[in-house]
Amino acid sequence: MDAQVDAGLPLWGGLLVFLVLLILVDLRVGSAKKHMDTRTAAIWSGIWVGISILFGLGLLLFEGGEAGSTFFAGYAMEKALSLDNVFVFTLIFAALAVPKDEQPRVLLWGILIALVLRTILIFVGAEALERYSWVAWPFAALLAWTGYKILKSGDEHDAGDKMVARIRKRFPDLKPAAAALVAVAFADVIFAVDSVPAILAITTDTFVVFAANAFALLGLRALFFLVAGAVARFAYLQTGLGVLLIAIAAKLAYGEITGDKIPVGITLGSIVLVLGVAVGASLLKERREGRTDGPAAG
| pTM attached to this predicted model | 0.78
In a domain, residue 30? The reply is: yes
Q: Are 251 and 262 in contact (CB under 8 A)?
A: yes
In a domain, residue 19? The reply is: yes
In a domain, residue 2? The reply is: no
294: confidence class by pLDDT, cuts 50, 70, 90: low
Interval 205-235: pLDDT, tens: 888 889 998 998 888 888 887 776 566 667 7
In a domain, residue 273? The reply is: yes
* Number of domains composing the chain: 1
In a domain, residue 149? The reply is: yes
Torsion of CA 8, 13, 14, 20, to 10 degrees: 150
In a domain, residue 222? The reply is: yes
In a domain, residue 121? The reply is: yes
- pLDDT value at 143 more than 50: yes
Domain that holds residue 197: 9-289
Give the chain's mean pLDDT: 79
Tell me what pLDDT residue 51 has. 93
In a domain, residue 258? The reply is: yes
- pLDDT value at 262 more than 50: yes
Backbone angles phi, psi at 7, to 5 degrees: -100, 95
Of residues 102 and 59, more confidence is placed in 59
Interval 87-116: pLDDT, tens: 778 778 877 778 877 887 788 888 888 888
Q: Which amino acid would we find at residue 161? A: D
